[in-house]
Amino acid sequence: MSINLTGPTAAVTTTDSKISAGTYTFVADQANDLRTKVFAVSAIGGTQTGVQKHTAEAPKQLMFRRPASYAQLGGYNQVSGKYSKVPKNVTRIIGKGSAQVVLNQWEIIPMTLDIGIPAGSTSYDAANVEASVMMFITGLYDQKEELCQAIIDGLY
């Protein structure tokens, strides 16, 4: 299965959100390397007063980058029965948002998520790999309101 954002996709909102029934339509954008997929917001729907779609000056993008090469397990210790070093295959998700700090001065809001999956675990224990990623996404989704508010008011 391949990552392919399209749209319109329902926006995640919070109780006190200024977004009502929001949607984002994503289109494929040009990546700067072959292991990255880039999607930009080409249209915004619903009630999102003051929210702008992607522009060069005010980006709204999601990028998905797979590892440059997939690491394998190595260095099995016969005495301990364990691998001495388990490399991680890191998938990186990068978001570029933007907001104005004053009229017509846009600043980028960088967001990065690294998912370091231990080599060998995707074939030996795929269920726990998936559960771990889903737990993380679920936790973020569950705390979306609290996280947004904490970012705004500084009270964590």
Which domain range does residue 150 map to? 118-156
**Nearest CA among 88, 147, 96 for reference residue 114:** 88
Residue 59 · residue 108 · CB < 8 Å: yes
Query: Which pTM was predicted?
Result: 0.84
**Nearest CA among 90, 138, 94, 141 for reference residue 113:** 94
59 cis-preceded (ω within 30 degrees of 0):
no
Domain count, the chain: 1
In a domain, 55, yes or no: no
Residue 1 pLDDT more than 70? no
In a domain, 127, yes or no: yes
In a domain, 144, yes or no: yes
Q: Are strands 105-118 and 9-10 parallel, antiparallel or unpaired?
A: unpaired
In a domain, 38, yes or no: no
pLDDT for res 71: 93
Residue 23 pLDDT more than 90? no
**Nearest CA among 26, 46, 142 for reference residue 95:** 26
Residue 20 pLDDT more than 90? no
pLDDT for res 2: 84
In a domain, 132, yes or no: yes
In a domain, 145, yes or no: yes
In a domain, 92, yes or no: no
In a domain, 95, yes or no: no
Confidence of residue 10 (pLDDT cuts 50, 70, 90): confident
